[in-house]
Every structure is written in C-alpha cells, then in structure tokens.
Structure 1
Amino acid sequence: MSDLLLEDENNRRRALELASFIVEAPAGAGKTELLTQRILRLLATVDEPEEILAITFTNKAADEMRQRLQNYLERARRGTADAAMPAAHERVTDELARAALARDAALGWQLATQPGRLRLTTIDALCASLARQMPLLSRFGTQPAVAEEARRHYLEAAHRALAHLEEEDEPAGIVATVLGYLDNDVMRLAGLLADMLARREQWLAVGALGRPEAVLFESACALVEAELEAISALLDAGWQRPLMPLARFAASHLGGGPLAEWSDALRPELEALPGWRALAELLLTQKDEPRRTVNVNNGFPAGPDAKVQKEAMLEFLGALDEGTVAALRRLRRLPQPDHADDAVVHALARLLKLAAAELWLVFRAEGEVDFTELALRASVALGDAQAPSELALRLDYRIRHLLVDEFQDTSPTQIELLERLTAGWQAGDGRTLFLVGDPMQSIYRFRKADVGLFLRVAENGIGNLRLESLRLSRNNRSTPALVAWINGSFPAVFPARDEPFSGEIRYRPFVATRDTLPGAGAHLHSVWVGEEDERDTVARQEAAAVVALIEAEWRADPARRVAVLARARDHLGALVTAIRRHPAGWRFAAVELEPLSGRQVIQDLLALTRALHHRADRLNWLAILRAPWCGLRLADLHALAADDHQATIWSLLNDARRIARLSEDGQRRLAHLRAVLGEALAGQGRQRRRRWVEDVWRKLGGAACVEDGSALRDAEAFFERLEVIDSAGRFSVDSLEDDMARLFAAADAVTEGEAGGRLQLMTIHKAKGLEFDTVIVPGLARANPSRDKPLLIWDSFPFAAGERLLAAPVNPRRRKEAVPTLYDFLQTIEAERDANEEARVLYVAATRAIRTLHLLATCSRNRDGMPTPPRAGSPLARLVVAGVWPLAAAGESFASEGMPGAPVDSADDPATFVPQLRRLVAPRVAADWWAPPQAVPAPEAESTGAALAATLGTLTHACLEQIATDPEAWDGARLGQLAAAAEGWLMSRGWASRDSAQGAAQVVGWLRTTLGSEAGRWALRRREEQAAELALTKLGADETASESVTRVIDRSFVEDGVRWIIDWKTAWLGEAADRAQLAQHAERYRPQLERYAALLVEEGLPVKTAVFYVAHGTMLVLD
C-alpha cells in the first residue's frame, strides 16, 4: 500500500472521532460517504437527532445525503450481513448504521417514520430559518418571499437613490458629486449601483466608516509600503549597487528623473516610490518583459562614449532571473496614494448606504427579499460573540455537532454565520465542527466564494475553535492512466504554493483505486485553423471535431456515457447545431444550455402576452398578425395599417371599411383572430394571467402551429414561468422579456426514454459532482471575457497588525492612462484570482472523467505555416506555458486525418437566406372559431403531459367555481353528465379526442374525490360571504404608479369570524402520500397564499389559508 493510501485510510478513521476537523477531499474521494458515516457516528452519541446539523450548498446534495442515510439505516434494519458487503468502507458504514439504530430504539426517535428529524439543510434554507425568527422581518406583516432574481429590485433602489438629486437635502449633493465624477451618465450610475447592491454584504463595512477617505488613504499607504518591503527584500542594496551608475548615466541622457542622483539604496518607503517605478521602467519593456537591447530612447546613445555603459547594461539585463522580473512587474502596478479622489470616496460611501436603505424599502414594498438579505439578517439574528442573542443561546444549547459540505465554496458572510453559530465552542466540550471540501475544486468566485477562507480556517480555525486538518488521497472515480496524467500535468498548471490572499492553491496528488481499463487516459487535440478564419468558421470546425470524437467513442462502445463540458454556454452553440443536424438523429441532455428566448414559439408568446396587456404596443400587435396562427401577408398588413400610425391596431381590426380592403384570405384569418381576442380582452382580469394567455394561444391555434413535441414543451415552460412571476406578484410587461431570458430548453433525451442520456452537454460548473465515462472539453483557446468594472472595488489585506480595508472608485472615462491607480491595482489582483480559478475549473473538468478525457483547442497558423501563440488568458496559453500542451507546427489536425469538414448550411448564410412566412393553412382556421376544431395530431405522451395537466387544472378550477354556486345539487349522476361537456371543452382547445376523453374522465374523478371527502364538502358549502375565482386588483404604491397587480383567489369565505382562503391544487403525489408529505408539498404555496391574505387584511378579520388537493380529497391548513 502506498504512503498516500495509508494516510488516507488513517485519516478516514480519524475523521469519525468526536473532535473538530477540516478535511481536504479531492475529486472522487467519496466525501459524501464520509459525511454520511460521520452523521451515523454522531447519531450513536446524541440524545436527540436534532442536535446534529449538516449544511450543504444545494438542495440536490442535501437530498442525496438524506437518501443515503435512510438507505444505510434501512439496510441495517433489515440485517444485511457483512459477508454480503465485501468492501471495507461498506462494513464500516453498516456498523455505524447499526449503532445509530440501537440509539434510535433506546431513545424512541422513530427515525424510520420521522426522517425529518435528520437535520440536513442548505445554507440558504438555514439563513431563511434564522431570519424568520428575527423581529425585524416581522415588519413585513407576513414572512417575505425570497426572490430568485432580484435585479429589478436593485435597479429600483438605485433609481430611488438617484432621485434624491431633485431634492434640496444632503443626499442631493452626494448624488451630484458622484454623477459629476461619472460625466453625468445617470443610466451608467444606476446600473453600477444595482451591481453593487447585489454584492452589498461585501462593502457595507466601507459605508459604515465615519471618514472613509481618511481610513482608506492610510490603508493604501500601508499597502504600498508593505509591497515595497517585500520587493526590497529581493532587490536589496547589493542588487541595486551595480545598477546605480548605469541608471544615473541613462538619466543624464534623458533630462534627469528620479534616478539622476541615485547613490543610496532605495528604501521601502512611499516617498521612494517614484524611484522604484523608474527602476522598473528602465529594465522592462512596455510588455513587461526584460529589455533585450537599449538605445538612445532608454538613455544609452550610440557611439564609443556610451559603449562601456551599454555593454554593462546589457550584461545586467541578461542576468535578470524570473523572480527579479516578477518583482519589477509588481513595482509597475503599485499605485501612488493621494487625496485626489477623497470627495468622491466620501460621496460614494454615503450613496451606497443610501441605496442600501432604499433597497430595504423596496423589499418591504414588494414583500420579498434576496438571499443576501437573508444571510445578513441571519447573522444579525445571532448577535456576536460578546453579545449573543436569545436565538443564538437557544441554538447553542440545541446544536452539538455542525457539519459543512463543500466548504471550499464558502463566502465571508457564510464564514461569519458559522463563527456566530459556534461562538463559545471549545475543544473538548463535547461539541464538534466538521468541515469538508476540496480547495482544488473552488470554482464559484462569481457566487462570492473565496478559496482563501479554506486555507485560513485550516490554519487559524473559526473563532476560538481550532480544527485538526486531515487530507484524503484516494480517487475512486478515474482509471489509473487518467489519474497518472492528471497528477503529472496539473502541478505545473497550478501555482507552486498556497496563498490565501491571491487565491493560489498548489496541486495535491491523489491515488487511483479503480482497475485499469484498455485505452483509458487523456488526449490533447489541436484543431488547426487559419489565422484569418472567421469566428463562426472556427467554431464550426471545432464542433465537427467534437462530433468526430463522439462517433469514435460510440464506435468503441455504444453504451459509453459522453459529456461535453465547456467553460461557458456560448462555447457549445455551434456544437448544438451540429448535433441537431447529425444524420444519426442524436439526442442529448442539456443542463441550462439552450436559451428559449430566441425560439419562435417563445417569441410569438412574448408578442401575444405584451399585446394583450398593452393595446397601444403597435410592434407586438403587428407581430401577432404575422405569427403562424394568423399569418397575414405583407400586402394585407400594409392595407390594414400603413396609412394610419396613430390608431391602435386593435381599433383598425374593428374598422369594417378598412378590413374590406384586405384579401379574402386575410379577412377570413382576421375574423378568427378578432373574435378570439375580442373575447379575451373583454374578460381581462377575471382569471389568472397564465390561464388567460394560454387560453387565447390555444384558441388562436398556437398549439397546432408547433412543429414537434419539444416546441410544445417550450410553450409549457413559458406558461409555467408566467405563472411563477404572476404568483410572486412581480409581473411586468417591461421586464417580461428579461424574466423569460432565464428559460432554457428541456433535455432531448427524455423524449426517447433515455434517462440522463448517453450524451450530455453542460458547463463545467454544472458538471461539478457528476461523472461520465468520457469527457470532452472544447474551447480551450478561448480567453475569458474582460472583467466588469464595478462602481467601487474593495478588498481587505492582511498586515502584521491585522487586516485593513482598501477601496477605490472606478476610474473616470476622461482619465489619462499614466501612473496606475489603486482601482487598477485592485483590479489586477482580481484578475490574478480569476486566472488561478481558471486552473481549478480545468481540474474540475478533467476529474469528471472515469475512463477518457479529450481536451480540444483551436490552434492557428500564420501565412508562413507556423503556429501563432495562443491568446493570453486562455486555458491553452496556460497549458502551453506549463509544458502540458506542445504547440508544434505538425500537431494533431482533425482535417489532416480526413475528418469531415464543417460545411455552412444555407440557413446559416445571410447572403442566401430567404425568409418564408410560416402559417396555418386556411382550412385549419375555422370561421366560426368556437366550434370544435379538427383534431390536432397528438405529440408524444411525454411532450403533452405537462401542458395537458395545466389545461386540466384550468378546467377543474372552472368546474369547482360552478359547483360552489350550488354544491348540494351536484350528485354522482350530475358529475357523470359533466364528462361530455368537459371532453368537448378540451377538444375546442386543440387537444386530440383521446387526450380529451382521458382528461375529462380524470377531472370528473377529481371532482368525485373532492365531493366525497368531508373536507371538500365543507370547503364548497354555501355561505353568505363566499366567492369563487375572486379577482382582486392591488394598485401601485401611490396614485402615480403605472403597475397594478391582479390576483385570483380560488375559494374564499367567512366562517365564525375568520376569513378563509383556499387554493385548489390538482397535483398528485402518489397513492402512498400521507398528510406529512402533502403538508411538506403545500409549504411551497405559502408565499402565494400570504399575498392573497394581504389583499384582504383591511377587513380586519383573522385570516386562515389552506391548500386543497383535489386528487387526494385532502385539505392542509397553513398555520
């Protein structure tokens, strides 16, 4: 057994002891199993299972861990023998599970029937739980919802803060100062402020400073002197001395300068910074490389008089080593602290505080907060170590063991939360903290994760609690050949040391435990292209290379699971097109890869929705006339609207004389559309928005216009998203397109019954935690996009006396590039951290592979046929520098191996593309539109399921509304008569006869279940103050507000002085679903029902809300 494996085995045993640990677990090490074993071990020692709290970062991870725990406990409960489990780690797990079961039985926990007592949660859910117990949030009136996407709130708060410019108060001057600094560009400042509000937990400390400009200036001076101290240790007096006469000679020929009188060694002081900077300028080129020659421009003129100095200078330059050059580069980027931006810094700090306050008011008005607010309120709710809150004391008494998964992805705010949760804990007091993660897999800087925190906690602990560091070294996923390549390549790709501040993580090797497989390993593929080739051409060539690799993998083994992983979604666009056009008809599963916003069915639905909500929206009204369900020709469109630009399109559609100008075909099509839209507009606000828009779309024939089942699923995704944003009370025509931009296509493989699919396409970030037989990583020649430039950039720097805060305002556009500013310096550090993370992203991609890894990069040749250097900042450039990727002129070229070319499809060529009008044929548009239309061919069951379910929900609501008017009259016989009417209603909305018949029978069955239950009869019983499908409209915050919100309450009445609000749900959770499962499911509707309750609060009556599951005949009251 190797030393690493022996260390791994010992550390796994040690990790199960009752002490506090931080564990490094590399990819494929089995950390989820270790966490599960740790929980089982702890269960055998606690008095209550709630004393153990395990925190993960995703619901999926929490569900996986919970399922593992339940499986292990069930396996032990069945008494599985050790002999049936030959693996040593499984025997350990079984022993731990039996001990936990014994404790369960002794103390009567009943974990088998009450698995909810196992506390496994996400960090966001924990913050929400803590924040809900905080009095401050009660000022909302009800518990606020959590906004998945809060950008619109940030923008609203930013605009409110800038609106103070119109007032005569102190904030007006603050806004004016910052606006003047940004050339009075209000839109730019609003956008920058919104960006800052999304990250406000990081800069609130800046806003809290009394005189930020003074504190930050002192920090900047301390930073520069600390950097000079480190540089001068390398470029010491002995190194400087031979350079002094050469520098003086050069300065004398350049008219002087900081080095003209240089005779004493430069000191690490701020006053000496100009001399240090002049030193770097003397020795380095504009590209930060050591000079290879010197001339008159550098102070060394031609001629015999300067020959000796010139030769001495070249000798000195030739002796510069990499460390010295790196120090000179650091000199060049050092800023010159000054007071030039003091007024702007002061104003910015105040403006940010003002915007944060406005954001809180926006949250209160909207009744929802973001995840950042939850995290901030959770920390406040716990108090601090000196003054813990009552909640913190309760938790301290209850929580004995805290476990955190994926600890490498924590943010400073989350670390602060953990510090407060463990305040007062001491080693040996019976309470333990267990942190597990892999710093080499920290790839979520965009979510504010800081890998340096992992290193700092390993070194210093959390609060007063010190943790023992353990490292695992076993890789249970990849083959020995692949592990050997990763271990041999990545040490040069990763930095050489651990440095928390810059996010540098050195490589940690691991050992393979799988058997060897033939042909396994890593392969590098250069796709050679011309230096002048267009970007689209290059993308198609790389996509063709990926297709060739997939074909080769499946020729070797048709069952092989292949994943194509990219650093960004747009890197896979050309590949998606190539796969969809593959003659074999490949299907693939994609995780949030293909945006739906550009697909025709979504564009048509967006136009329809916007037109229905705004009759003066001329562009979208014209769009629905050209959509396939109407398909008006250009001549008819011109005759209808060309000579009147003032009237709305709807008024023109109702002008009989104007309609008479159109062709017979156009008149027939408009008659159908006008009738459908006329009914829809007359009924606006009487039903839920999703139901209203979908009903119009189906009556227009939208379902008959889609080409296949995937388009129908796209439409269903649109309607579901519409329902979500409407239920959340944030529907806005203006933001509708942005809301729909977050829709992505569903997986193709599902339609063919290939669960998960043989082929999967996703980003590397989405692939984290997954594994595949073969992994293909294209796009390595692409550089990352340039960093955003925030309004204020900030950081905290470690000094001997502790950390100090640094911040700088964005550079003004009118600034002349000269001496680097503090903003430039901080941006450079951020760029270095990004570059360090790029190495980790590549590592994550490589370690997803079980058998084979293919890395692809497009490499170009110049006109002489020689390779051109890869783009700076690209993974390929990093691999070339590390010596992993040999960039040779005669490297692998798919084209030279006879790979099929990448032809340009005529549909992709703008020069030959001819647009065609897609529309339903005339016979499909019934003049008498409300008559049952011809049956529409049914798509696959998998495609229609979700859409049909939504339609059945609409029908069920309508039936319950009718039943509520006279519930006693609805007996079994009358319900049976309803089936025929329901079937006809479904057919009139475009559903096939078979689907309509089955759907009608299902609805009638639900109604029988509801009326057959005591709760259902009680909910439908007639009362004096009752309503069904009650539409209530809430106006904006004041009379000038342009938005209003309409909500439709399914069932409401007053009984015994209590206002009841009941929401009908047609969800089916299965035969085995009990009240506990239904109650858990009902919780997702709590925010929606609380919004309903808020509309009726002025009645002054106590309100009770409930969810009624019609398919189960069960009602759950939400306390």
Structure 2
Amino acid sequence: DAMGVAPDSDVIAALLNDASLIQSLRDYADLLIRNSPTPEGKNAAAGRQLHATLDTRDATQTCFGAVCGALLTAAGELRKHSSGKSSIQRLGAEDDARFLALHAQLGERLLQARGWLAAQRVYQFNADALAIGDALLAHYQRLKHARRVLDFADVEWQVARLLSNSDQAEYLQFKLDARYRHILLDEFQDTNPLQWRVLQSWFGAAANADRMPTIFLVGDPKQSIYRFRGAEAGLFSLARDYLVEHGAACLQQNATRRSAPPIMHAVNQNFGRVAAAYPLFQPHTAHDSGRTGRVEIVPLAQFPQPAELTPDGYRNPLTTPFQDADTQVREIEAQRLVQRLQQIIGQWIVDDEKTGARPAEYRDVMILVRNRTHLAVYERALKAARIPYASTRSGGLLDTLEIGDLMSLLGFLVTPFIDLDLARALRSPLFDYSDAELLQLTTCPGDSLWQRLRSLTADASPKLTRAARLLSDWLALAGRLPVHDLLDRIYFSAEVPARYATAAPDALRPGIAANLDSFMELALTLSGGRYPSLPRFLHELAELQAGGDASSPDLGKTAQLSNAVSIHTIHGAKGLEAPIVWLLDAGPHRPRTANYASLTSWRAGAERPEHFSLYGDKTLRAEFQAAFFEAEAHHAQRENFNLLYVAMTRARQALIVSGSASSVRQDDWHGQILAALTDQSDATECSLGDDLSLQPYTLLPGTHHAAALPIALPANLHQLAAVGCRTIPVNNAQINYGVLLHAILERIAPPAAAPAATLLRQQLGHPEDFDSALAHARRLLASPQLAAFFDPARYHFARNEMPYLTADGEARRIDRVVRLDDALWILDYKSGDDASDTQLQQRHRAQLDEYRAAMAQAYPNLSVRCGIVRGDGRLLEVV
C-alpha cells in the first residue's frame, strides 16, 4: 500500500497500452508542433519525435523514456510552458488552454509512473539485498555459535527476549528485584529502543509486584551524538514521564561547574540564535562566575594562489609540485595552530584543581575535529614544530618516516640492485649517512650503489665499513629467516631503537619507539607471521598502504604521555574536558551522504520499528521513503547542533575555533559562532573574555612541602636520645643568586618556551635580584663561545635539568645536555664561583665524571664531553 503499486505489475505496459492516454499524447504532440515559432524549432522537433515514438511504440523502458523526454527534463521535472501572447496567436485561446491542461495532466501521469517504477526498483533492491544480508547474518551467527562467542548486539537481543517473552522472564525479574534496590542510569540520552525495552520489562514487573527500586536517571538530550549506533534521544523524555508517573522527582540543571563565563556566553549566544530549530537548548550559567576564561574565533584559512602554469596551460611537474587545494588550505590552518600554541604554552595561566593557577602546559590543550579525514595534516604540523601530541587517528603506521626506512631496507634485501631503497636506508638513523657521504659513494666503481659500497677498501671510515658489514650479514639471512626473526636481528645488531631515539626530538621519541614495536608486532601477525617470505610480506604491506588509513595498521600505542596535546574526534571526546580546547576544521563542510544504508523509523516507546528499508543512490530511493528521509534529515540537523554543543562545552577556560575556506556554504560552525558573537555577517574573527597571559596566580596551600609538626608521644613510650643534629645551610646572597640564575636558565634556555619577564618573575616568587639575574642569563645565552649549545639551529637536541637515576636508585639532575654533530655535551653552570679554572676543574671533576658515565650508558654510540659554564660566558672543558 505504501508503494502505491504492486511489485510485479508492468507499469510501462499499462501506461502505453492505455488508448485514451495515447490519443492525448498525440493531441499534445500536434499542439506542441503548432506551438513552435518556426518549423524547425525545439517544440516542433519534440512533437515530431513524440509522434514517431508513438507510431513504433512497444512496452519498453526505451520507449517510455522517449515519451518522458517530450514532457520532462533530464532531472525528471515537468518542462515549463506558459500561456502568452505569442502562444495564443499560434494556437488560439482555446487550444492554448488545452495545451497547458494536457501538459499538466500528461506530465502528472508520467511522473506517477516514474515514481511507481522507482518504488519497484527500491522494492527489488531491498528483496535482493535483504536476502543476501539474511544469509550473511545466518552465516555470522553460525560462526559465533561454533566459537561460543556473542557480540554486543546478541547480548542486547537475548536479554530483551529473556526479560520480555521467555518462560524465565518472571524468575529473572524477581532475581533482579531481589538483588538490586538502587539503580543509576547515566548518559541515558544514548539509550536505544531495545535497551529501553529491557528496562521497561524490569521496571514494569517490579511496579506490579510493589517492589519498585530507587531509580536515578541522568542524561542530557543535547549530548546525544550516537544516533549512528542506534541511540534515540527521544527516549529520555519518555523515560522521564514514565518515572514521574511512578512518583519520581524531575530536576533540571543548567548551571555548569566546568566552563568559565566567557565560554558559557559563547554557548548561549550561538544556540540562542537557532532556538527555533533547536528547542532543546536553554540558557546556561557558570557556577564559578569569577573564573577567568577566553574565546577566540580565528579567521578562516584562505586558499593559496594557484601554481603558475606553462604557456600551453599545463603545470611543469619537474619544477612545480601538485597542489591539492583542500590539503593546502588546511596546512595553513595547521601552521596557525602550532604558532598559536607556541604563544600559549608557558604564557597563559590555567586553573588547576590540584595546584591552583599555573602556566599552561601541552597537556592542558585538547584538539577536537569532526572527523579524521584531514587529521594527518595537523599531526604533521605538530610533529614539525616538535609539539608532543597523543592522537586517536586510525591507520598511518606505514606512512611514518621510521617505518618507511625499515620498509626500504627490507626492499633492498629483496632486490639489492635498487639504489633508491639502499640510499634511503643509508640516509636513515640506521647508518646516519650524510648527503655528502652518499654523493662520495656514487664515485666509487660499480654498477649499483651496493656494489660501490662493497668495493670500499679496508681503510674506509668506520661508518662505511659498519654499513657494508651489517648489510652483508642481513642479505645472507634474508632468504633463510622468517620476517620477524630477521627484523629482530636487524633491531639488535643495528641498535635500531637507540639510534632512532638519539636522532629524534624529545617530543617524538615515545611515538617512534611505539611505531617500531608495532612494526615488529605486525611482522608476527600478518599472514601467520613466521610463514610468509620477505617478498610476500612487502607485497602485503604495499596492499595495506594502498588501501589508505582504513586498511593500514594503526600507529603504535604510546604510554600515556605526561605532557602532550591530546587530539580527539568530538565523538571520542564525549565525557572529557580540558582547560584549553581548540576546535579545528570548523569551517563550511559538505555534509556526508551515505549512498547505501538503512532507513529506520523507530518511534520512542514503540515495540518495533515503524519502517525499515535499504536505500542506495538517487535511483534507488522511492516516494514512499520520502517522509522518513525528511525525518532523518531533521534528526541529523538536531545531532549536528548536539555535536557542536558537546565540542564547545569540553572547554574549561579557553575555547579557540578555526577552520578553512570552502566553496560550499553548508554546515559552517565557524561562521555560525562568529555571527552569534559579533552580530555581523561579514566578520572574520573575534575574541572575548580575559587576557589569560596577564593573570596573576598563586599555588594552592599544600602544594609545597609543609613544615613538620610536633607529634605528642605517649608518656610511657621510651624515647631514644638524640644523635647528632640537623644543620641549616648558610643562606648567603651568593648561593641565592646562583639558585636564581639556574632557575631562570632552566626556563628560558631553548627548547624551553621562554615566558614573559613579568610572568617569570611571578613564577620565581618576585626575588630581589631578578632583574640582574635575568640579564646575566641572557648574556650567557648570547655568548659567542656558547652559541653552539643554545642556538637550536646548531644542535640536534637539548635538555634542561635532565634527570636520571644512579645505580643506587638516587635521583640526579644535569643542568643541560646538548647533542652536537660530533658529541654529546654535558654543561654544568658555575656562575658564582670565584675559583680559578684549575681549581674549578679539580673540585667538580668527580661530579662530572659521574654525569659522563651515566650519559655514556644512555648514548653508547656518542662521544660524551663535559664542560663548566663560568659566569663570564666562558666554557671550561673537563676531560
């Protein structure tokens, strides 16, 4: 009945065998010819074509399409004809009116027939797809049964059957009533109809037995963002009404304890403008009205200028790289992200529940995206800026530099004559060849790079001989060992983890180490691990890489980083919060449309779905599905509002919104928020709230070590006599100045993000000698003799106050460790010591020798050198 036609009826034959309809079509064709301004005009040609089609008609799709072509456009809409002075002159008033009437009537008949044909196509598509789907599910169920496992859908369905329709329902309901008297249902807005059916069965039986448990239901329909998993936000209202009928109290809370007032102002302004389309929202208030906060709307990143074309209109691929506009514009947004983060970290003040106000750290920042499509662009920018981050992006392992190096090495072991693979392996941290060394190698005799490497004489450099020896060993093993065992030999003999850790910035080391471990694990899990050959392993890796992130193995899982930016999708961030939230890629988007999916209408409280069907592209959608598509669009709009609400309310103190320009004008969160805050349609940026970089702060009481309090001992407890006494070190000005200078150097020496002088003074407790100590520290950083140790362009990495443990488990700290090209340097600041150079060397040699031994164990392949930095900026090496 909903289709309006029988699934097996011949719509075209019934239409074209209707004599009255055919006569009307002929009359329409005659009038169409007469209504043409010229004999060769479009109307005349269409009329003659319609006559020819009717003369040779048969009940085929081709004939039906030709008839439709005379009255309908290619888009399936009725062609436009209207009455006018010229048409009345050509046809006469009576025939002009009849022509328009026939055009409308015949067009309606043809559109109806097209709708019936579409309904039959959709019906047949559903019949075929559901039959295949049913067979697939049956096979899946048999497989689970054979393995004695259940998935979550099985659990839901079986529990619903047990509590609703089974012989054991009353017994199970009684057992639940006897065991649970108090029930807390959290995040109820994400409940699906089947889950509510389970709860209804339980609660209904309990109410009938006068044993209704205490129920505490918590939820927020504005945070319902999992409709794709079957969640139905309408169940919240239904459950609320059900519980109120049983005596429950309904409490509403629109005051937030999380977000600062400026963020709540932005939320209220944004959703207040769309109140008619989003009735769920009510104005919010901030519980802590005095908390500082900030909202920034960054201008949209604009498309860069297109690449220059050659005179013939083509791009020269040898000189001009291909520019993907979508990627380029997001790279611009990503650069703005890292630049702003570098300004925020160490400069803004955030509220910490444990320590009180303190400078912002990387761990205070949460980046949110709608989807993972462009996440790799933002990650590359963070990595290039050496900003530590923890991401939830799927795939990507095979696209990392370190895994690409290993794949090139394995490719060389399969085909030693491929120079490019060997060149990449030699250039990697595995062998650490420079460009000059590679070019020098090409001048040696031999037809391939490998032959040239093997032809080296015995007096070649240790680096070259090491590479030749290791590669020869691995080539001998490549055809005999399983892939995992071969990689294990490579990792051990080439010191792979240690070499990559040495070459990588501190922020990237955990991720690189995890990726190396994941690649080793992949060699065990892919195709049975020990059985595939090395060529087969590389072939499967190539197939995974070609499949994109959806097929590629995930990046290695790092241990929870103590200080790193976190990256989440908005769905993944549900329930999380952060002092600073950056909503990326919030500009205009073209909403995703599923070409093949299911269409379900399951009203809240109904026992079963009202409608269920499958649909495809536009040719596989029918009129009887239109109302359900409209309802689905309404739900999608509401969930889009919910998604933005969840994103904005993750922020405690600061919310930053950015995006990229787009040719579409749909789903523009950036523009929506900007218009709400500025009340201007042409605004490009805005900010509101407090300047977080200028807020004074103090640590909460208890965050410093408190003085020991005397404890009253029992009178009958024998007290031991005191042995020795604790002495207080002399607190002279020279010692205080040295401690202050150390503290300033720790905070301003690269790679530290040097805070403003005002903030630094606050951090150090407003010391008296601050100005002179800060000037002294800056002179040391600018000393020409020390430039190699403080200029980031001249060293590989540097660490201030580097901690380590001695063999006895005691904690030690080194003032500064710097990796140069030729050595690892340990620097010890002795700015206030008046001793001579020789005395200073003798006095601190034992201490520096201990530092040297510790770093030599951590970096066994580097030469470790020690130096004392004197107050006048001179470096005194201790050997």
Q: TM-score, structure 2 length as denominator?
A: 0.51
Aligned equivalent of 1:603: 404
**8 Å contact 1:547–1:579 — kept in the other structure?**
yes
Q: Residue 656 of structure 2 corresponds to which residue in structure 1?
A: 854
1:355: Cα distance to partner? Answer: 0.8
Task: Supply the distance in 2 between the matched residues of 1:544 and 1:621 (Cα, whole angstroms).
Answer: 31
Change in CA separation of 1:404 and 1:488 when aligned onto 2, cut-off 3 Å: same
- 1:673 equivalent among 468, 471, 488: 471
Counterpart amino acid of residue 783 in structure 1: H
Q: 1:802 to 1:773 in 2, by over 3 A?
A: closer
The 8 Å contact of residues 375 and 393 in structure 2, kept in 1 or not, is answered as no
SS in structure 2 at match of 1:783: coil
Q: State which of 296, 300, 303 in structure 2 corresponds to 1:527.
A: 300
Shift in Å, 1:772: 3.1
Deviation of 1:349 (Å)? 1.8
- In structure 1, the partner of 2:238 is 456
Q: State the shift of 1:604 in Å.
A: 3.9
SS of aligned partner of 1:297: coil
Which of residues 203, 206, 209 in structure 2 aligns to 1:425?
A: 206
Q: Who wins on radius of gyration, i.e. which is larger?
A: 2
Shift of 1:704: 4.8
The partner residue of 1:743 within 555, 561, 565 is 555
Match of 1:510, as an amino acid?
H
Which of 596, 611, 627 pairs up with 1:805? 611
Is 2:189 the partner of 1:408? yes
Q: How does 1:679-718 map to 2 (within 5 A)?
A: 682=480, 684=482, 693-706=487-500, 707-708=503-504, 713-718=510-515
> d(CA) in 2 for partners of 1:542 and 1:461?
49
Counterparts of 1:912-991 in structure 2, within 5 Å, are: none
Distance 1:720 1:731, change over 3 A: farther
The answer to whether the Cα contact below 8 Å between 1:382 and 1:388 also exists between their aligned partners in 2 is yes
How is 1:439-450 mapped onto 2 (pairs within 5 angstroms)? Answer: 439-450=221-232
Look up the SS of the partner of 2:330 in the other structure: helix
* Alpha-carbon separation, structure 2, partners of 1:491 and 1:677: 68
Deviation (angstroms), 1:424: 1.8
Deviation at 1:838, TM superposition (A): 1.8
SS of the residue 2:644 aligns to: helix
Q: 1:356 aligns with which of 125, 137, 145?
A: 137
* Cα 1:729/1:775, change in 2 over 3 Å: closer
Q: Aligned residue for 1:1046?
A: none
- In the TM superposition, residue 514 of structure 1 has moved relative to its aligned partner by 0.4
Counterpart among 369, 379, 384 of residue 566 in structure 1: 369
Check the 8 A contact 2:225/2:642 in 1, yes or no: yes
Distance in 1 (alpha carbons) for counterparts of 2:598 and 2:423: 42
Counterpart of 2:581?
775
| C-alpha contact 1:543 1:578 (8 A) present in aligned 2 | yes
5 Å matches for 1:1011-1090? none
Partner secondary structure for residue 80 of structure 2? helix
Query: Is the CA contact (8 Å cut-off) linking 2:185 and 2:216 kept in structure 1?
Result: yes
Q: Which runs of 5+ in 1 are unaligned?
A: 1-213, 222-249, 256-280, 289-294, 310-330, 498-504, 644-651, 861-868, 895-936, 946-990, 998-1119
Give 1:352 deviation, angstroms: 0.8
After superposition, the C-alpha distances for 1:860-914 in whole angstroms (9 at most, x for unaligned) are 8xxxxxxxx862133246557x8556554464499xxxxxxxxxxxxxxxxxxxx
CA distance in 1, matches of 2:633, 2:341: 35
Distance 1:339 1:496 in 2: 35
Relative to 1, partners in 2 of residues 1:859 and 1:608: Cα closer, same or farther, differing over 3 Å?
closer
- Measured against aligned partners, the alpha-carbon deviations of 1:932-956 in whole angstroms (never above 9, x if no partner) come to xxxxx999999999xxxxxxxxxxx
Residue 486 to residue 697, structure 1, CA distance change in 2 (3 Å)? same
Structure 2 unaligned regions, length at least 5: 8-31, 37-42, 44-70, 94-111, 307-324, 350-357, 530-536, 688-796, 806-853, 861-879
Matched letter for residue 507 of structure 1? F
Counterpart AA for 2:596? P
1:299 paired to 2:111: no
TM-aligned CA distance change 1:351 to 1:398, over 3 Å: same
Pairwise CA RMSD: 6.0
CA distance in 1, matches of 2:343, 2:222: 31
The equivalent of 2:646 in structure 1 is: 844
1:714, distance to aligned residue in structure 2 (A): 3.5
Q: Specify the code of the residue in structure 1 equivalent to 2:636.
A: D
1:350 is displaced (CA, Å) by 1.9
**1:565 CA displacement:** 2.7
Distance in 1, Cα, partners of 2:552 & 2:284: 44
Q: Residue type matched to 1:675 in 2?
A: D
Change (3 A) 1:630 1:337: same
Aligned residue in 2 for 1:951: none
Q: Which residue of 1 aligns with 2:13?
A: none
Instruction: Give the Cα–Cα distance (whole angstroms) in 2 for the partners of residues 363 and 725 of structure 1.
Output: 26
Amino acid at match of 2:403: I
Do 2:497 and 2:513's aligned partners in 1 also have CA atoms closer than 8 Å?
no
Report how far residue 841 of structure 1 moved: 1.6
Residue identity in the other structure for 1:449: A
SS in 2 for 1:527: coil
Pairing 1:515–2:289 present: yes
Q: Is 1:786 aligned to residue 592 of structure 2?
A: yes
Partners of 1:608 and 1:395 in 2: CA distance: 61
Q: 1:539 to 1:729 in 2, by over 3 A?
A: closer
Change (3 A) 1:219 1:456: farther
Query: Which residues of 2 match residues 490-509 of structure 1 at below 5 A?
Result: 490-493=271-274, 496=277, 506-509=280-283
* Alpha-carbon distance between aligned partners in 2 of 1:723 and 1:368, rounded to the nearest angstrom: 29
Contact 1:490 1:507 in 2 (8 A): yes
String of CA shifts for 1:449-491, please: whole Å, max 9, x gaps.
Answer: 33233233334569x9896543223211223343234223313
Distance 2:164 2:300 in 1: 58
Deviation, 1:807, is 0.4
Check 1:768–1:300 CA distance in 2 against 1; reply closer, same or farther (3 A cut). Answer: farther
Q: CA deviation at 1:220?
A: 12
SS at match of 1:424: helix
Seen in structure 2, the aligned counterparts of structure 1 residues 887 and 542 have a Cα distance that, compared at 3 Å, is: farther
Question: What is the deviation of 1:507?
Answer: 0.7
CA contact (8 A) 1:442 1:840 kept: yes
Residues 366 and 581 in structure 2, CA contact (< 8 A), matched pair in contact too: yes
1:692-722 deviations in Å (ceiling 9; x for gaps) = 7444323244235412256653354246546
Counterpart-to-counterpart distance in 1, 2:605 and 2:81: 37
CA contact (8 A) 1:718 1:740 kept: no
Structure 2: distance between partners of 1:422 and 1:634: 79
Number of residue pairs matched?
Answer: 566
Give the corresponding residue for 1:487: 268
Matched with 1:539 is 330
Post-superposition offset of 1:408:
1.5
What is the distance in 2 between the residues matched to 1:446 and 1:303? 56
Check the 8 A contact 1:524/1:885 in 2, yes or no.
no
Is the Cα–Cα contact under 8 Å of residues 526 and 856 in structure 1 kept in the other structure? yes
Residue 703 to residue 622, structure 1, CA distance change in 2 (3 Å):
same
